[in-house]
Chains A and B, each alone.
Chain A
């Protein structure tokens, strides 16, 4: 049990590293590259689509092969959202995210990974992104309290 506990921590670190290297190799860490993808109505750089295709080809089979397993290898149970709701919140939230994504060319993964480059712009973006996380949490708490 104790050993497994520690192994899951190592897996978390390694997965973060692999993910960060993947963002770097695919250049998705560069907002200009992402904006090039979103500029499909102008000069289009389709690279981001290939990033998603590569990621899906590798990861998707594992979800379907392992989802009926009783437990993951290093922890006691699977824990992920099985939310199937299609509601206003999903559309509003995704639209707000899309607007921010289109404004800066940054989404959460590349923004955090780019902190490695000590770029002032990334730091500002990440700080305000965390403020956004916090504000939603706060408003959720107030709604629940009512």
Chain B
């Protein structure tokens, strides 16, 4: 194992902002942030639909605001074929609903309140994610 591209400072700073959003949402609106829950409820449920819409809108506005204020380009690279992306999207959509959470809902909010369920979920999706990348690199 080699360590490459490690950016601890920006990771920690960005992570702190994510934590701040989670804390504010909890203290003021009484809800825990899990993006898969917010997005799927926006689609499937009338409860809090406008709140969920505004949150998702903000999530898209965030990178735009960052770009405007810092004048920095946001570079992302997705190198997969469209078929693979579609399969991955289906797996992520269905999996997060069956398992009740994603990286934010289980990985941050759930672990933050010391939920064993969320710790088990996070370990599971990390191990499977790591194995998937490992297998993908072998092929």
Do these two chains interact? yes
Residues of A within 8 A of B26 (CB): 59, 62-63, 66, 72, 80
Proximity bits, B89-106, A CB within 8 Å = 1, else 0: 111111111111011101
- Judge whether A79 and B31 touch: CB under 8 Å: yes
Proximity bits, A23-54, B CB within 8 Å = 1, else 0: 11111111111011011111111111111111
Interface class of chain A by DSSP: helix
- Judge whether A20 and B78 touch: CB under 8 Å: no
Contact of A108 among B76, B92, B136 (CB under 8 A): B92
Assembled-state Cα–Cα distance A119/B76 (Å)? 9
The number of A-B residue pairs with CB atoms under 8 Å apart is 497
Interface class of chain B by DSSP: helix
Assembled-state Cα–Cα distance A15/B29 (Å)? 10
- Judge whether B13 and A45 touch: CB under 8 Å: no
- Judge whether A12 and B19 touch: CB under 8 Å: no
Contact of B60 among A55, A104, A112 (CB under 8 A): A112
Contacts A54-B15, A102-B128 given; indicate if A128 touches B86 (C-beta within 8 A).
yes
- Judge whether A12 and B54 touch: CB under 8 Å: yes
Proximity bits, B63-93, A CB within 8 Å = 1, else 0: 1111000000011111110101111111111
- Judge whether B54 and A86 touch: CB under 8 Å: no
Query: How far is the CB of A20 from the nearest CB of chain B, in Å?
Result: 2
- Judge whether A50 and B15 touch: CB under 8 Å: yes
10 of the cross-chain contacts (CB-CB < 8 Å) are A19-B18, A19-B55, A21-B14, A24-B14, A43-B1, A80-B30, A103-B88, A108-B39, A115-B60, A134-B43
B-side residues, CB < 8 A to A, are: 1-8, 10-33, 35-36, 39-40, 43-44, 50-52, 54-66, 74-80, 82, 84-100, 102-104, 106-109, 111-113, 115-117, 120-122, 124-134, 136-137
